[in-house]
Structure 1
Amino acid sequence: MARTARIAQLRESIARRALAATGAPADARIIDVQRAGTVFVVATEDPASRWARYAVETFRIPTADDTDRDYEPGEAPKIWCALAGWVGDGMAEVPGMFAKAVAYARTA
């Protein structure tokens, strides 16, 4: 069980870094995180959002090619790349949006 908890904490930590790259508020609640190949799928709730309370976003996991040219090879910070996202107003929409995001991630 401890291993499962560590993995969940790691996924949430990674999701927070990806969300921060898109300017998502730090207090957005992470509902679910799943990895699909080289893509992270993150579902969030942000009650303060003026556009939509719930969001599901996909992020390509940074690779060695996602570096800043101003740094020496291997020293550049990794860059999270947002691929696609879905938004909705109700929690009931989240499972459908999440399923669409995972299906998208498997083809990305």
Structure 2
Amino acid sequence: MPTFQTCSRHPKAGRFLAACSGCAQELHDLQYGKPAPDPTREAARAALASIGTPAGTFILSATRIGDALIVATDQPPAANFAYAVDVFRLPTAAETDPEQVAPCAPGEWILIDQRGGHRRADVDRMTADSVKYLAEIGITGESATQAA
């Protein structure tokens, strides 16, 4: 029986496209209950990869506030801190201007703040401090999205 839900890759196609591996994966995930990828968590993975976060790092939470992203992680044993909270922001139009000496790529996350702690209880405080920091530099958002 064909499904009429559209694929996120082809929203105007009407049905899942048989030739698209992405459509086949999404249809499989829908049929067998696997949740769709969380865009905030995907952004967190990309941001962490851009700063060379070591393998074995577990994302505890990711919060998007306006054009900023706060990512709390459980670090591997070899890291300086057991837990970290990294704050990223998207580049401004001026920073992506090709006339710049070293322009940023549009959509590339820029690290603007880092915090570290040795106890799981430190994560909530570090996250709250990061939200305050963003407010201090003028990044606020009415609709903060969080992925746990």
Which TM class, normalised by the smaller chain length? 0.7 to 0.9
SS in structure 2 of the partner of residue 103 of structure 1: helix
Moved over 4 A (4+): none
Per the alignment, residue 67 of structure 2 pairs with 38
Write 1 or 2 for the structure with the bigger share of strand. 1
Aligned residue number for residue 18 of structure 1 = 47
1:88 and 2:117 aligned: yes
Residue 90 of structure 1, CA deviation: 0.8
The count of aligned residue pairs is 99
Do the aligned partners of 1:67 and 1:79 also contact (CA within 8 Å) in 2?
A: no
For 2:51 and 2:131, locate their aligned partners in 1 and report how far apart those are by CA, in whole Å: 19
Paired residue for 1:52?
81
Structure 2 gaps of 5+ residues are 1-34, 100-104, 138-148
Aligned counterpart, 1:73: none
Identity percentage over the alignment? 36
Higher relative contact order (CA closer than 8 Å, sequence separation 6+): 1
Deviation by residue 1:16-67 (Cα, 9 ceiling, x = unmatched): 1111111112431111111222211110011323310100010012444443
Q: Which amino acid aligns with 1:93?
A: D
The structure carrying a bigger helix percent of its residues is: 1
Shift in Å, 1:102: 1.0
Cα distance between partner residues in 2 of 1:77 and 1:35: 17
Supply the distance in 2 between the matched residues of 1:25 and 1:31 (Cα, whole angstroms). 15
Bigger Rg, which one: 2
The alignment's TM-score, normalised by the length of structure 2, stands at 0.58
Gaps of 5+ in 1: 71-75
RMSD between superposed Cα atoms in Å:
2.4
- Aligned residue for 1:27, secondary structure, equals coil
